[in-house]
Structure 1
Amino acid sequence: MTQAFASEESEAPSSEEAAAAASSCSREFRADPHPVYAALREQAPVCPLSPPHGVETYLVTRYDDARAALADPRLSKDMYGAMDAYHRIFGDSSVALDDNMLFSDPPKHTRLRRIVGSTFTPKRVESLRPRVQEITDGLLDACRKSEAVNLLPEFCFPLPLQVICELLGVPENERKQAQEWSATVAQTGFGPEARKKLEVAEGNLRDYLVDLCARKRREPDGGLLSALVTAKDQEGALTDHELVSTAWVILFAGHKTTAYQIGNAVYHLLSRPDQKELALRDAKALAAAIEEIFRFETSVENATFRYAKEDIVIRDTLIPKGALVQISLAGANRDPRMFARPDEMDVRRPNVQATHLTFGYGPHYCVGAPLARLELQTALTTLFQRYPGMALAGAPGDARWLTVPFPAFRGLAELPVVLDPS
């Protein structure tokens, strides 16, 4: 853990220092944001920030406030209602990819979620288990066993990417390029050079998805994207923009979040042998451990932006109409008012699945949660059954975390391990 903000010997940052750190999105903050969130929870739980994107934002860090805000209809997800702010943050080119359920309110959100949600029911997801296992086995077969391997590009990312691409019907020879464009969108900063890269990647993705939808119209394959094309053509349930944007959000959210979460889980279990032993006792223990890891180190650090449709007061702080609100899932998940010893990972923690906010809360609760759970269960079970002696290739304190400017994801920059030290 970085010592930039707090350690056992140093005092916690003041509210001013914490707000400045969260606003700057500095490398130190990105490497370990938890001391900053802890300070904000106690001293400024609803904190105005001045982030690099230049749009004033209010950050919510306490559990009760976060849970209420996630379901508050006065906080809109429809960024088309805040276009000035939207353009300043994401640029003009993002609009064509963001006409989806993630950036909409009821009744539009209800309609789009119903169309997509039928694919991610627990029963449908469970039917994918054999194929997820097959993909997992194939990826591990290809990994080097006796020397260090970076699990992120070799395993953590390809697994959910292959699963979601198969669900959508993305041809195998086109997946690598789609992932590269997605990575550019996810890791772009706010300077002119970064914005140019973002616009090129978004344009390429939009053109690719338009073409892919056209191919699914000509030759349906029974996949999710073919079903969405059919819904648009036969039922009029989707506009052209909604179709392309829905395909994009499924592709992007369906692999990035899970990939980083698998990496977080492997890292923290390998760093804590006692917790690993408890987690791997049986399937029930592992399922509970996964929920604790979701709480302890969520890959989705902050919920996507909301904006106030009217003046709102959250914990004595007035959020004016039109202001942006960001809800810290990582901060809420470590609130001591909700979780005892929140900065300890305890895989036997009771009732954590029903309380952590990693998948959100309310109407926008993550539709892909069942699939993410299945992928983590399969990945961790197979990894540790095959390689019980697997070890980090270095000390836990040497871990490098993502330090991209915008805190969309909380994950490792690399995960070097030795699968079979013997």
Structure 2
Amino acid sequence: MTVQEPQPLTDPVPLMGCPYKADPYPLYERMRDAGPVHRVLFPSGVRAWLVTGYDAAHAALNDDRLGKNHDRGNDGWRERASIMPEPQHSQLQVHLLHQDPPKHTHMRRLVTDAFTPRRVEALTPRFQELADTLVDALPEHGPVDLVAGFAAHFPFRVLAEVIGLPTELAGRFDRDWGKVVQPVGPRDPGRPRYEARLHGLQSYIAEVVAHKREHGDGDLLGRLVAARDQGELSQEELDSIIFQLLVAGQEPVTNQITTALIALFRHPQQLTRLRDDPTLMPRAVEELLRHDSAFELTTWRFFDRDSDLHGTEVPAGDSVIVSLCAANRDPRRFPDPDTLDLD
């Protein structure tokens, strides 16, 4: 029997194609074995430096030399990586995920009170009520679409409760707007539809701001609007934070619920254990996030000068990105990384 040797990694390593999208873990294993940092190519044409191993990923995420502000990106990165065109990029992409201290610290302070453990615990009965309502509406017999019937709705309903989004406005939010975070080039046939989504979302955000300004609510959205009126936030920062809450605050959670359900269906013994012993739930959540996270890659990071990253020289302004999925399957950190283990 002839064992076929894997092909050597190319430079850059393409992160695209059906095999990669279906199961990226074999490629991540090869990359980890070859070294902690690799130059990669995304479908959009963006080239970046990908960090893979657990220790290297942990170090990169805590490396003060790496900043997240897009102004650090060089012209080559900015030409291809901008999520959306101007002026929308400058109006909606100055949120927390793209800020460094002290701006990040200031903006974070404005939102953290809404997500404290004490407040979340106080709202848990309401979250359970929302979940029960969706589950009760599922068909009692026959096949059930758990994405369309539950995962696509539960995160946004929870988010609306937490941030103070009025019921009438929450009912008019179009989940299709979440696709504005997927880059679409200026010559792409889907560009007109992309721009329509973008303008629709901007108009919706303007409605939310106007409603909160008129009613003076004391919830998170109301406090953010008040911070803008008091000069603590610019209009772009306010709109960007609301954009982040509405899109990043619910769509990735829908994807994670879906990914977790798939993992449990593929491991029926673990699903049975969890169903029979709900006390395993906290451990199960952590393990499902580790085993196959919908949060596959971090946001872009940049050095402001040519720098060494785990033995690799990275030019200033080149994008660095961490693969959380690759780090969470590192056998040097997790003895049996490909196994879903609820113990």
Question: How high is the TM-score relative to the length of structure 2?
Answer: 0.91
How far is the alpha carbon of 1:87 from its aligned partner? 4.8
> Relative to structure 1, is the Cα distance of residues 115 and 13 closer, same or farther in structure 2, using a 3 angstrom cutoff?
farther
> Is residue 2:210 matched to residue 1:214?
yes
Residue number among 40, 47, 60 corresponding to 1:56 in the alignment: 47
How far is the alpha carbon of 1:288 from its aligned partner? 0.5
SS in 2 for 1:59: strand
Q: Which amino acid aligns with 1:238?
A: L
Counterparts of 1:395-406 in structure 2 under 5 Å?
Answer: none
After superposition, give the CA deviation of every residue in 1:55-94 in whole Å (9 maximum; x if it has no partner). Answer: 3211111111111111212111001332733352223233
Could you say which residue in structure 2 is the equivalent of 1:374? Answer: none
Could you say which residue in structure 1 is the equivalent of 2:7? Answer: 14
How far is the alpha carbon of 1:119 from its aligned partner? 1.1
Between the aligned partners of 1:164 and 1:54, the Cα distance in structure 2 is: 34
Between the aligned partners of 2:240 and 2:208, the Cα distance in structure 1 is: 12
After superposition, give the CA deviation of every residue in 1:110-163 in whole Å (9 maximum; x if it has no partner). Answer: 101111111111101111101111110111111112111221121012000111
Residue number among 128, 131, 135 corresponding to 1:136 in the alignment: 131
Whether contact under 8 Å (1:213, 1:229) holds in the other structure is yes
Could you say which residue in structure 1 is the equivalent of 2:64? Answer: 73
Between the aligned partners of 1:176 and 1:46, the Cα distance in structure 2 is: 44
Could you say which residue in structure 1 is the equivalent of 2:78? Answer: 86
> Is residue 2:304 matched to residue 1:312?
no
How far is the alpha carbon of 1:28 from its aligned partner? 2.2
Whether contact under 8 Å (2:36, 2:52) holds in the other structure is yes
Residue number among 19, 25, 32 corresponding to 1:34 in the alignment: 25
Q: Which amino acid aligns with 2:228?
A: K
> Is residue 2:186 matched to residue 1:198?
no
Higher mean C-alpha deviation, range 338-347 or range 76-85: 76-85
Q: How many residues align?
A: 337
> Relative to structure 1, is the Cα distance of residues 131 and 284 closer, same or farther in structure 2, using a 3 angstrom cutoff?
same
Q: Which runs of 5+ in 1 are unaligned?
A: 1-8, 349-422
Whether contact under 8 Å (1:12, 1:39) holds in the other structure is no
Between the aligned partners of 2:201 and 2:4, the Cα distance in structure 1 is: 46
Whether contact under 8 Å (1:21, 1:29) holds in the other structure is no
After superposition, give the CA deviation of every residue in 1:273-326 in whole Å (9 maximum; x if it has no partner). Answer: 221233344443111011000100111000011122122212211111111011
After superposition, give the CA deviation of every residue in 1:208-227 in whole Å (9 maximum; x if it has no partner). Answer: 21221121011133331111
SS in 2 for 1:244: helix
> Is residue 2:324 matched to residue 1:329?
yes
Q: Which runs of 5+ in 2 are unaligned?
A: none
> Is residue 2:105 matched to residue 1:110?
yes
Q: Which amino acid aligns with 1:217?
A: R
Counterparts of 1:5-404 in structure 2 under 5 Å?
Answer: 13-16=6-9, 20-22=13-15, 25-82=16-73, 84=75, 85-89=77-81, 90=83, 91-92=85-86, 93-175=88-170, 177-190=172-185, 192-234=188-230, 236-348=231-343
Between the aligned partners of 2:273 and 2:288, the Cα distance in structure 1 is: 13
Between the aligned partners of 1:12 and 1:121, the Cα distance in structure 2 is: 51
Whether contact under 8 Å (1:76, 1:308) holds in the other structure is yes
How far is the alpha carbon of 1:327 from its aligned partner? 0.5
Higher mean C-alpha deviation, range 190-199 or range 209-218: 190-199
SS in 1 for 2:297: coil
> Relative to structure 1, is the Cα distance of residues 58 and 177 closer, same or farther in structure 2, using a 3 angstrom cutoff?
farther
Whether contact under 8 Å (1:98, 1:245) holds in the other structure is yes
Between the aligned partners of 1:13 and 1:189, the Cα distance in structure 2 is: 33
Whether contact under 8 Å (2:291, 2:329) holds in the other structure is yes
SS in 2 for 1:322: coil
How far is the alpha carbon of 1:96 from its aligned partner? 1.3
> Relative to structure 1, is the Cα distance of residues 327 and 176 closer, same or farther in structure 2, using a 3 angstrom cutoff?
farther
Whether contact under 8 Å (1:97, 1:244) holds in the other structure is yes
> Relative to structure 1, is the Cα distance of residues 11 and 108 closer, same or farther in structure 2, using a 3 angstrom cutoff?
farther
Q: Aligned-pair RMSD on alpha carbons?
A: 2.2
Q: Which amino acid aligns with 2:335?
A: A
Higher mean C-alpha deviation, range 214-223 or range 79-88: 79-88
> Relative to structure 1, is the Cα distance of residues 175 and 323 closer, same or farther in structure 2, using a 3 angstrom cutoff?
same
Q: Give identity over the alignment, percent.
A: 35
